[in-house]
Structures are given as C-alpha cells and as structure tokens.
C-alpha cells in the first residue's frame, strides 16, 4: 500500500495446488503454499514455522486454516488462524471467524464471521481451549 513493496510478493513457494486439483484430507506443510485448486480439509503449517499460504481467487478451502502468514483472495469455509499476518485481498470470501495478530483487509473482501485480534504471544488454539474450559467451569457446581 502507498507504494511500499509487499512483504509477501517475493515469498518462496514450495508447494503448488493447481487449478482443477482437489485434495480431500488435511494438508500439513512448511514453507510456501500456493493454492489455485480446492482443498476439502484443514490446512495447517508445521508448528514453529514461518510458513505462508497464498490462496488465489480460483482457490477454495473447506476446513480450518492455521498458518502464520497468509494472503487470501479465494474462498474459505471455516475458521482462519493467522498468528503473524493475514491479508484479505479484494476477492477473498471467508465464511467463518478470522483470528489474527495483524490484519490487512482490502475493499471488497468479505468475512461472514468474527474478527478476533490475538496478540503475537497468544496461541489461537490455547485461547479457544481456555474459553471453553471457563465456560465448563462456570456451568458445573463447585465441590468442596
């Protein structure tokens, strides 16, 4: 934006899911993943990696996405967890909540769900577990 070079424009792509390709099942990866096809399953970056997901306007993911860095311009049906940076391009369509540290959202991008800011030191999964355990504790009587 404003003439600055995009940090992700020179990202190294290690894996390409081409247009017309359909993957049924979870995809766990490290490095760079570019998706032009369809994935029916969760897309997860290896723990501790600085992986990047680039979802083109032709790409579609039906499942949760847990990747530190991502540029989304396609459709996702499921929750998105970006621990470092999430960029929603003009044609991105998210049907689920987006959990992010830094978020860039272009005019035209859609999120049909919540936008939840999570600082870099918070882990999305841990936050969800803490929330559900607090709900269970408040619902059950305290035994003394």
Q: Tell me the per-residue pLDDT of 44-80, one tens digit each, with 9 for 90 and over.
A: 999 988 999 999 999 999 999 999 999 999 999 999 9
Take residue 125 and report the two structure tokens written for it: 């999964």
Query: Confidence class of residue 29 from pLDDT cuts 50, 70 and 90?
Result: very high
Backbone angles phi, psi at 78, to 5 degrees: 150, 170
Please tell me whether the overall predicted TM-score, pTM, comes out greater than 0.85 for this model.
no
Q: Alpha-carbon distance 12 to 104, whole Å?
A: 21
pLDDT number for residue 3: 44
Per-residue pLDDT averaged across 105-120, rounded? 94
pLDDT number for residue 135: 47
């Amino acid at each position: 934006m404003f003439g600055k070079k995009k940090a992700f424009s020179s990202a190294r792509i290690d894996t390409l899911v081409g247009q017309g390709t359909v993957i049924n099942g979870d995809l766990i990866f490290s490095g760079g993943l570019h998706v032009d096809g369809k994935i029916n399953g969760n897309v997860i970056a290896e723990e501790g990696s600085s992986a990047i997901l680039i979802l083109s306007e032709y790409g579609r993911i039906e499942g949760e996405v847990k990747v530190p860095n991502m540029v989304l311009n396609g459709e996702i049906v499921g929750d998105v967890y970006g621990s470092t940076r999430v960029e929603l391009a003009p044609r991105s369509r998210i049907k689920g909540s987006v959990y992010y540290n830094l978020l860039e959202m272009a005019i035209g991008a859609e999120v049909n769900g919540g936008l939840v800011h999570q600082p870099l030191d918070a882990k999305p999964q841990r936050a969800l577990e803490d929330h559900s355990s607090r709900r269970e504790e408040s619902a059950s009587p305290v035994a003394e």
